[in-house]
Structure 1
Amino acid sequence: MADSPLHTGCIKTIYETTIDNKLPPNPIVQVLNIKPIIQNPAAQQAQQAQQAQLTRIRLILSDGVSFMNAMLGSQLNDLVTEKKIVPFSIVRLVKYISNRIGNRSSSLAQRSMSDLSANIFPIKSLNPYQNKWTIKARVTQKSNIRHWSNPRGEGKLFSVNLLDETGEIKATIFQEQVDKFYELLEEKKVYYITKAKVGMARKQFSTLTNDYELTFELGTEVTPCFDDDLPVLRYSFVQLAELGNIEKDVIVVKLTLWDRFAEMFDSPVDSVVAFKAVKVSDYNGRSLSLVPSGMVVVDPDTPEGIKLRGWYDSVGRTENFLTHSGLSANSFGSGTDFISNVRKTLSQVKEEGLGMGEKDFFTTKATVIFFKQENFSYPACKDCKKKVIDEGNGWRCEKCQRTWPAPDHRYIMSLNVSDPTGAIWMSAFEEVGEKLLGHSANEMMSLKVSFSLVRCRHASWEDVLENRINPQSDTQLIQERDEEEKFRAVFSEANFKSYIFKCRAKNETFNDTSRVRYSIISAEPVDIIKEGNELAALIEQYDKL
C-alpha cells in the first residue's frame, strides 16, 4: 500500500463513536461522490435560481478503507456550486457531528474498499453478458479531449487504455462524463472501475487486441486505488529482423513521430526507447510510424530493454548499420535482395509479371508523358489524412469524428510514363505529386475551383463569353480564364521530364477483376553526368565481350 494522505480507519471510528467529543479530530477523507437532493422535485424549476440555498447535498466520504454517507451543511453548499469541492477531492473535516439513522447507515458504513477488492474481475474476462463487475486497472494512456460537430449535434470525448495482469481494454468517455472523469483519470495511476458498458471493440479506432471495449455511462463509478501492484505497461516487442529475412543486429529503420510525440521527444543519443502501437508501412521502403494512441518510453525497465542496453554497450555501439535510406520494402516483405539500382525497363516489368504474386518493387528510368487532370487529389482530414465528406456546413472525418471548415487536399494522381520499350499507367501520391508538379495539391485545387464554377454550365470559354448577361463582368471572366490557363500550364510543364522512379507493383481485385497497379514510391530527377558515366561503363563492358 502506497503512502496515503487519508486518515485510514477514521470512518469506522466515526461510525462506532456515539459521543461527539470522542470523534476523531480533523480527519482527512476523500469525497467519492456528490449528489444534490431537492426535497420537492415538482418545484425544481422554481428553485434553480436559489439552488445553493434550497438544495441539500449528500456526499460519500472515504478514508481509503471504508466509506459512508454524509450530508453537507446547507451553509456550505457554495463549496460545491463553486466547484471548490468536486468528486475525488480530499478534504479535512474541521467541524462535524455523527448521527445514526436506523439500520440503513449501518449497512452503508460497513461496506468497505476491501469489498471492492474481493469482487475484482480480470479484464480478459469482461464481456457484454456480465452485469455486475469491478475491475482494478492502471491507466496506461489517456488521449486529449476531442470535439466533433455534425448534423446530429455536437459533442466531445476522450479515451483511456486500462491494464491489469490479464490484459488491456480501451474505455471511451463522452459528453458530460468528460468533465467528470478527465481530471480524475491520470496516466500510471490505478483505479477501481464499475458500472460501465461493455461493447464490441471498434478495431479501426484502437490498437489493442481486446475484442471488447468500455463506454462510461451516467452511473459509472471510478474510485482511486492506492495499491501499486499492477504492471506499468505491457509490450509485444517485434525485432527488426522479424520484419523480413534480414541479418539481425545490422538494420536501422526510419520511424516517424507525429504531433505531441514529435514535440515532446527529447531522448538523448544512445538511449533505448520502447515504442508501443507502431504502424508498419511501405513508404520509401519499409518504415514505421507511431499512431496517435501510441506511447514512447525512454529506457524501459523491461527484460528486453535491459538486454538491448547490454548488447549496445558491449558491441552494438561500434557496429556499422545499414540505414533506412538503403532499405527497400522488397527487402523486408519478400525476403529477396535489397532493391538494387539495376534498373528494369517497362517491358521487363510486364514480361516478368512483377506484382502478379506478392508485392514487388523495382527501379526504372522513365519519362512522364501525360497526367490525368480531372481527379488528381482528394479532400483529406488535417489529422489522420483520411478522406473527408462534404456535409454542406463543413467537411466530416468519420475516423477522427471531427468536422473541418475546409479540407487539406492531397495528391492521388494517375499519370502515364514511358521509356523506349513501352508505357505504363502509374499512381503517385502526396510527396511524389508535389515533386512532379512543383505545387501543393491545395494550390492546384485553388486554381481549379476559381474557373470551374463558371465553366460548369458551358463547354468552352467562347460559350461563356457569348452567353454573358452583364458585359461589365468581362474582366472577371478573363481573369478566370487566365486561372485555367495557369492550371493547365502546370501539368504541361511537368510533362516530358525524366525521372528515376522507385515503384511498387501489387495485384489488386475490384469487382471480381484482378489487375496489377503500379505506384511510385519516390521520384528523383535524372542526373545527366551520373547517367553519362554509367552509360560509358556499360559500353566499355560491352566492348570487352
Structure 2
Amino acid sequence: VNESSMVTSSQNKKIQRYRLILSDGKYFLPSCVLTVQLNELVLNGQLQEYSIIRLDRYLRSDLKGQTAKMILQILQLTVLDITTHKIGNPVSLLTADLNEKDSSTITTTKDVLQPKVTGSVLKRPIVAITNEQPVLPPLQSTITITKMDIDSIKTNRLFKIETLNPFQNRWTIQVRVAYKKPVRAFSNGEGRLFSCDLIDETGEIRATGFGDECDRFEPMLIVGNIYYITQAQIKYANKQFNTLNNDFEMTFNNETIIETCIDNISSIPIQHLHFISIDQIQNMENNSFIDVIGIVMNINDIVHGKSKQNKDYTKRDILILDQTGQIIVTLWYQMAENFPMSCIRTKIMLKGVCVNDFNGGRTLSVLGSTQLTIDPDLPLAHDLRRWYLEEGMNIEMTDLTAQSTNQETIPWKTFAQVTEYGTNVSSTGTGELCRVKGVCVHVRHDPVYKACTRIDCKKKLQENNDGTYYCSKCDLHYEDYKLLYMASILLSDSTGYQWVNFFEKESEILFGFPAEQFPIGKSKDDEDKAYQKLISICGEEKLFLIRVKSTRYNNHDRLQFTCVGVESVDAHLMCRLYLEDIGRMCRLSSN
C-alpha cells in the first residue's frame, strides 16, 4: 500500500469511500476502491501506509474497454506485514507495456464494474478486512446487454445484491420478488408508480418503476416468483421512505430488461427477516426500523385528527405482545381503516416498523413502507401462538410503552452534574437517563389541565364560547373533559437545582392523589387548598429518574428535563452507593 485516501461521493455527501494506491514493487495501480460496507473498519488502524497485503476478493472494471482506465473494487483483503518504506520503484500499470509483464503479475479478476468516484481527498489509515464471502462471477469482456444475449449471461455473469452499487453499469441479478406495493398516483395526481422488494441469498433491495415502466413491469412481477433483471439504475436509498437494510435502491428505466426464471431456486429465500423480541426494543435507537412478531391483544377505535401542519390524518392503535412484553403499534391512514377488528388474539408480523419515543417509553409506528402480515406462516409465529394458548394469556406482561429501563445501569448524578451531563446529550435520539436524590422546592401554579376524554388521547382541549370543548387532535367537540397532571417542579440538592417536567403517572406518585381530585373550576378557596396540598410535598427527599434531552426551539438548542420515575429514599441503597464512592475516592488518592 503506497498511499491511502478518503473520497466523498458527489451524489451523496454522507457516503464516504476509501481509495488505495497498490504496488507489487514493479507496477502500481492508482485506482483501488474499498466497498462502502468496509468503512466501519477504517479507523481501527489495522491497515496502514506501506502495509503488505493480499487481495482475497475484488472486482475489476475496464472503463470503455480500455485497460488504461482499469479500477479495482476491493471486497476482502488480508494484512500480511507492515513496512516503513516503499518497496522498489514501481511505474504506473496504466502506462506500462502490459504485453511484457508476466501473466502472474496480475491475478485474474472477477468482474466488471464502472465506478465514478469524485470528491475531496483526506489522508487516513485504511483497513479492509471482512468475513463476508460474496459470490463473484468470472471475468467477462465489457459488453452491451441486449435481449439477445441475456440468456448467455444468466449463468456466468450473475451478480449478488450485496455487490450492487451506483458505480456499476454491467450486471445481471437473479432475484425473488418478496413484496410488491400496488400502483399509486403521485401526490399531485400526475403520473403513477409502483415499488417492490427484491431479495437473493445475500440481501434485499427496493426497486421502483415510474410511468411507462410502471405499466411494463408491475403486471409481470408476481410476489414469490424469481426473475432475471439487468440494466436498471442503482442509486443511494432515500431512508425516509426505504426501510430495507441496503444503502442503495433500484429504479427501472426504458433500458431495463426483466425475464422470468422458470426454475425455483431454493437457495433464494422467501423473505429476509431479522426479528427482535419486544423487550429488546428499548435498546433500539429512536426512528430505527425493526422486524417484530406479536399477538394482537387490543384494537382501538379509529382516531381522526389534524397534524401540526394542519393536515388531516387517520390512525388506530393496537396492542401486541410476545413472550417478553407488550407494546403499542400505531397504524396510519389506509392501513388503520382496513385493519380488521376480528384480529384480536391473532398473530401478526411487522417488517420495517419504526421505533418511536413516547413519554419516556417506546411505541412502534407502521409507515407506508412497512409490511404488515396477518397470521404469517412462520415457525416463530407458530411458536408464539402456541405459547400464548398454553400460558401467555394468563401472564401479566411488561408494557414497553411505559418507561422500562434497567436502573442498575443508570448513573447517579447531582444536580450540578445533571446540567453538565446534558451539555453532552445529542439533539437526536432518546436523550440520556440519570438518577438524582433531591427535594421538591416549588410547584408552579396550574399543575393540571383539561384533556380530551378519549382513553387514547391526552391532548389539551380548547374551550369554545358555548362552554363546550374542542380537541384539535381528534377533531371532535366535547361537553366534558378529564383532568391530567402536567406539572413543572423545582428540584434541588446541595449542589444546585433544576426545573423538571412531571407528567400524569409521576405527578400522581409524588402528590399522592389523582388529578381528577383537583377542584379546578370550583371556588378559588378550594383551588388554593388543593394547591397547598400539592406544595406540602416540598422539602421531602425522593429518588428521581430523570431523562435529559436536547431539543431545538427557534433555531436554539435547549435542554429538557423530564421525570420518568419517582421512588422513596432507600437508606440501604444510599449507604451502599456512598460506600462505593468512598472506596473509589480512596483508590484514586492512593494512585
Q: State the TM-score, normalized to the length of structure 1.
A: 0.44
Higher helix share: 1
Q: Which has the higher contact order (CA 8 A, sep 6+)?
A: 1
Higher strand share: 2
